[in-house]
Structure 1
């Protein structure tokens, strides 16, 4: 039976591909009662929000720190409200923020789904061990969510 509650799913991690849209579309096609949230995925806005709002910083450390702290307002709030957290580790870039989000979600006791290719299995073994599921494709994540929400394999 499909849940009548809307599940809040936080989509953390890599921002250079359309994996979030793929998951959202697959869940919409299944008519799942899910709402998605995410960190700021505009790289420049995320990097520069602190100095754009609070003023310039000549030292890059403080420039980055202002941005990180403002971004943390959104990230922490949405992670804490999430019913499920999905963290994607992409192929091209190191996603230190994604690793932090995975650890934070684990510390909060949030059900955690990790998404990455097989090449990252060794590097992410501790992160994977904290997860309730490790998927290799966005379609698998959508199927995992469908099963969790409906309790059926045909989700």
Structure 2
């Protein structure tokens, strides 16, 4: 049975692949009642927003801190408003911000779905332990969302 509710799903994590688009397109194709949100995924804008808005900093620490604090206005608000938080870890870069988002979501009691491949299971063991599910592919995430929202188990028929 489909819920009348519109779910809010926050998509946190790596910005170098199209995983967000895959999830959003598949969810739309299935007709899932989801409103997606995400951090700013324009890497230079995200890095430099603080100094672009609030003024230059000679010290890189303060440059980064201004950007992190301005970005946190968005990320903290959207995570608080989310029904489910999906956190994707890629293998190319260390996504400390994604790990922080996962911890923040866990502290708020939000259901978390983590997405990463087997090559980084060990460094993410604590994040995985806080998650309700650990998926290897965007397709698995959409199957989880479909099941959580509608009760449909993709690929299975009633017995």
Give TM-score, length-normalised by structure 2: 0.96
Q: Which residue in 2 is equivalent to 1:67? A: 67
Question: What secondary structure, in the 3-state scheme, does the structure 2 residue paired with 1:8 have?
Answer: strand
Q: Which residue in 2 is equivalent to 1:9? A: 9
Q: Which residue in 2 is equivalent to 1:133? A: 133
RMSD of aligned residue pairs (Cα, Å): 0.8
5+ residue gaps, structure 2, are: none
For 1:58-137, what aligned pairs fall within 5 Å after superposition?
58-137=58-137
Measured after TM superposition, the shift of residue 122 of structure 1 is 1.2
Q: How many residues align?
A: 155
Question: What secondary structure, in the 3-state scheme, does the structure 2 residue paired with 1:86 have?
Answer: strand
- Deviant stretches of 4+, over 6 Å: none
Measured after TM superposition, the shift of residue 38 of structure 1 is 0.3
Q: Deviations along 1:27-82, whole A, 9 cap, x unmatched? A: 00100000100000000000000010011111111010000000000000000000
Question: What secondary structure, in the 3-state scheme, does the structure 1 residue paired with 2:123 have?
Answer: coil
5+ residue gaps, structure 1, are: none
